[in-house]
Amino acid sequence: MTVDITHSVDPIISSSEHIGMVDDFAAHNYSPLPVVAATAEGAWITDVEGRRYLDCLAGYSAINFGHRNREIIAAVTDQLGRLTLTSRAFHSDRLGPFCRDLAALCGKEMVLPMNTGAEAVESAIKVARKWGTEVKGVPAGQASIVVAAGNFHGRTTTIVSFSDDPVARTGFGPFTPGFRIVPFGDAEAMAAAIDDTTVAVLIEPIQGEAGIIVPPDGYLAAVRELCTSTNVLMICDEIQSGLGRTGTTFACDHWDVVPDLYTLGKALGGGVLPVSAVVGDSNVLGVLRPGEHGSTFGGNPLAAAVGSTVVHMLGTGYWQDRAATLGTHLHGRLHELIGGGVTAVRGLGLWAGVDVDPTLGTGKDLCKKLAERGVLAKDTHGSTLRFAPPIVITTDEIDWAMDQFAAVLHT
Ligand SMILES: *Cc1c(COP(=O)(O)O)cnc(C)c1O
């Protein structure tokens, strides 16, 4: 027998070869920047050729606590040596503490653990429909949910059914009925769309993919009042905005608004695993009975160990305060660029959407130029860039990233 040992060691493959392989063998549903990450720590990513980049996207807020955060990696490593998966057919010693502590962080009674963000949103929709049918008394099959224009809640068939982004929808029909779209930030339009069949309002308190759109003050409180007075569930999708990003535990906290259901994800998995949840009180989540909903991986011990660690980390308030302080600095630097290539800056905490003069290039062009200077950011629609670095970033690193951004705007 002959063995070709050259195949038993990983060959060194260049960035361009990696990119070619992805082009050849991965579905083309993404168009990533030409950077091939090999290792990362904190706010920094190193590519296969050893070039370093400051990560100013943080996995769309999935990496709020930094790459390979020590506390999180320690929890994962410990749990890997104990128990990783049981399915919900049996109990694990991790699920109870995770649900108890996450519920407490949210000021709620119950947690429905899932995996991805889209699953959390799907689950919240199912819970709202069930609640509407069994508790509110909406005739079966008639429940309606009001959503906002420009929303992003994930990619499943039902969720793209109420997207208004043609790219997300075209060719994917037939769609799930039962959704009404109203302009974001307009409480009167929301009121007009609610009727006897309405079981829930589903909104992002700050719209992420739409370009970090902060609603007018008073909007969320008005929606809260409307939901209470019409017996409609207020569901806030805090998958991207929640868990420290905006300088508070939840974006809703900025306006002292408490929804009936939170959907959480992204940072809940500590940058390690997909971990998501719907969190609410028992009079709502309690409508689910055995067999009516589930997930093989939802609430698995490894995910619960990671989620518990994230909840404990947020329990100190350190991350929220740090995001608030660094966010003030980031927004200050970005505002200095208004008029010098930047036309608008939006956001809260360590989360910024930046509109760039379109004559300077598309958002994607600018992100490529930024990457060449060692800063990884992401465009959204057209000429909007977003900056959402891991909360471990330092003031000096933000300054350096902003210097690179200013240089890109002026070349
Ligand atoms: C990312 C995101 C989702 C979907 O999460 P996935 O884990 O990608 O399925 C849902 N809602 C919001 C607000 C998001 O930002």
Residue closest to 56 by CA, chosen among 352, 269, 265: 352
User: Hey, whose CA ends up nearest to atom 12 of ligand 1?
Assistant: 153
Same domain, 86 and 11: no
Tell me the whole-structure pTM to 2 decimals: 0.96
Same domain, 110 and 175: yes
pLDDT for 38 beyond 50: yes
**Boundary (domain end) residue, out of 297, 315, 333:** 315
Same domain, 20 and 145: no
pLDDT at 9: 47
Q: Give the number of other CB atoms < 10 A from CB of residue 314.
A: 22
pLDDT for 76 beyond 70: yes
**Boundary (domain end) residue, out of 298, 315, 332:** 315
pLDDT at 12: 81
Domain with 355 in it: 318-379
Same domain, 51 and 74: no
User: Hey, whose CA ends up nearest to atom 7 of ligand 1?
Assistant: 117
Same domain, 80 and 131: yes
Same domain, 188 and 282: yes
Instruction: For the chain, give the number of residues.
Output: 411
Q: Is residue 344 part of a domain?
A: yes
Question: Can you read off the two tokens belonging to residue 295?
Answer: 């997930």
Question: Can you read off the two tokens belonging to residue 144?
Answer: 């309606």
Same domain, 150 and 294: yes
41 touches 264 (CB < 8 A): no
Q: What is the pLDDT of residues 51-75, one digit of tens each?
A: 999 999 999 999 999 999 999 999 9
Q: Is residue 63 part of a domain?
A: no
326 touches 395 (CB < 8 A): yes
Q: Is residue 65 part of a domain?
A: no
Number of domains, the chain: 3
Same domain, 295 and 348: no
Same domain, 254 and 371: no
CATH number at residue 183: 3.40.640.10
In this structure, what is the dihedral angle of CA atoms 86, 240, 401, 360, given to the nearest 10 degrees? 130
Same domain, 79 and 146: yes
Same domain, 290 and 334: no
Q: Is residue 282 part of a domain?
A: yes
pLDDT at 11: 53
Same domain, 207 and 187: yes
Question: Can you read off the two tokens belonging to residue 374?
Answer: 């060692």
Distance between CA atoms of 111 and 276, rounded to whole angstroms? 10
Q: Which of 152, 202, 235 to mutate to test the pocket of ligand 1 (most atoms within 8 A of CB)?
A: 152
Q: What residue has token string 């392989």?
A: 21
Q: What is the pLDDT of residues 316-336, one digit of tens each?
A: 999 999 999 999 999 999 999
Band of pLDDT at residue 246, cut at 50, 70 and 90: very high
For residue 47, the SS3 value is strand
The average confidence (pLDDT) of the chain is: 96
Q: Is residue 387 part of a domain?
A: no
Q: What percent of the chain has pLDDT over 70?
A: 97
Q: Is residue 324 part of a domain?
A: yes
Q: Is residue 8 part of a domain?
A: yes
Which residues' Cβ are closer than 6 Å to ligand 1? 60, 116-118, 121, 152-154, 204, 208, 237, 239-240, 265-266
**Boundary (domain end) residue, out of 300, 315, 330:** 315
**Ligand 1 centroid distance, CA of 9 (Å):** 37
pLDDT at 148: 98
126 touches 274 (CB < 8 A): no
Band of pLDDT at residue 349, cut at 50, 70 and 90: very high
Tell me the mean pLDDT in the region 385-402: 98
**Ligand 1 centroid distance, CA of 29 (Å):** 16
92 CB contacts (<8 Å, ≥6 apart)? Answer: 83, 86, 300, 301, 304
DSSP assignments along 117-163, one per residue: HHHHHHHHHHHHHHHIIIII-PPTT--EEEEETT----SSHHHHHT-
Q: Is residue 51 part of a domain?
A: yes
